Chains A and B, each alone.
Chain A
Amino acid sequence: SQTIHQWPATLVQPVGSPLSLECTVEGTSNPNLYWYRQAAGRGLQLLFYSVGIGQISSEVPQNLSASRPQDRQFILSSKKLLLSDSGFYLCAWMDGNTEAFFGQGTRLTVV
């Protein structure tokens, strides 16, 4: 069966520090992968999606970047975090048009 792993679960980082969140998928090949952010009391904002290795689509201009170095690995990064980067980050994968499966999320607090 397919599983998705996302880590860490929680993270507290100072302003100006770098960020790296990792997401991996098991049990499937060539999945579509997604990064979302959910700010407190707000909906899910699509940040990036990827349909293959090295293929990244960015939805909004921001302080973040994404990379897909391997088929089942999706990384969200920042060189210098801002206070406004705080939020709940969710990785998801989708195989075809059936269902999007989410990781358990990373709660990032920038202080």
Chain B
Amino acid sequence: RKEVEQDPGPFNVPEGATVAFNCTYSNSASQSFFWYRQDCRKEPKLLMSVYSSGNEDGRFTAQLNRASQYISLLIRDSKLSDSATYLCVALTGGYQKVTFGTGTKLQVIP
């Protein structure tokens, strides 16, 4: 079983729609979590951190459920520029090991 799992998609949504991604992690010792965004043929870049209390950054909301070992990302009012692959990330081992999910591809359609 992979340490971090995501639905690969693709998710094809119209502009203005709300879309949610989930990610599950298997290692209960994982300590911190992030969402990264990767554009085609580019390196991943940090989108936002994920906190137990949930956090929001503009149209993006991230949540962590430690009991069920999953994290989520909600994107409201989707823009064409949101089209990308979204990767969830778990840190374990005293923040030494950084494991990425396989990514979920989002395509926002005009």
A92 touches B103 (CB 8 A): no
**Do A100 and B102 contact each other (CB < 8 Å), given the known contacts A44-B44, A105-B43?**
no
Main secondary structure of the interface of A (DSSP, over half): strand
Number of interface residues of B (CB under 8 A): 25
Contact partners of B55 in chain A: CB under 8 A: none
Distance between Cα atoms of A105 and B42 in the complex (Å): 8
B99 touches A46 (CB 8 A): yes
Within residues 9 to 46 of chain B, which ones have a CB less than 8 A from any CB in chain A?
A: 31-32, 34, 36, 41-46
**A44 (CB) vs chain B CBs: closest residue:** B100
Number of interface residues of A (CB under 8 A): 23
CB distance from B94 to the nearest CB of A (A): 9
User: Which of the residues A57, A99, A104, A105 comes within 8 Å of B34, measured between beta carbons?
Assistant: A99
Contact partners of B103 in chain A: CB under 8 A: 43-44
How many A-B pairs with Cβ below 8 Å? 56
Distance between Cα atoms of A96 and B34 in the complex (Å): 14
**A45 (CB) vs chain B CBs: closest residue:** B100
A97 touches B101 (CB 8 A): no
Distance between Cα atoms of A97 and B33 in the complex (Å): 9
User: Which of the residues A94, A96, A103 comes within 8 Å of B43, measured between beta carbons?
Assistant: A103
CB distance from A4 to the nearest CB of B (A): 9
B98 touches A92 (CB 8 A): yes
Within residues 20 to 64 of chain A, which ones have a CB less than 8 A from any CB in chain B?
A: 32, 34, 36, 42-44, 46, 49, 51, 57
A97 touches B32 (CB 8 A): yes
Contact partners of B8 in chain A: CB under 8 A: 43
Contact partners of B32 in chain A: CB under 8 A: 97
**Do A90 and B95 contact each other (CB < 8 Å), given the known contacts A43-B100, A44-B100, A97-B31?**
no
Interface residue B71 (Cβ < 8 Å from any Cβ of A): no
CB distance from B38 to the nearest CB of A (A): 8
Contact partners of A105 in chain B: CB under 8 A: 42-43
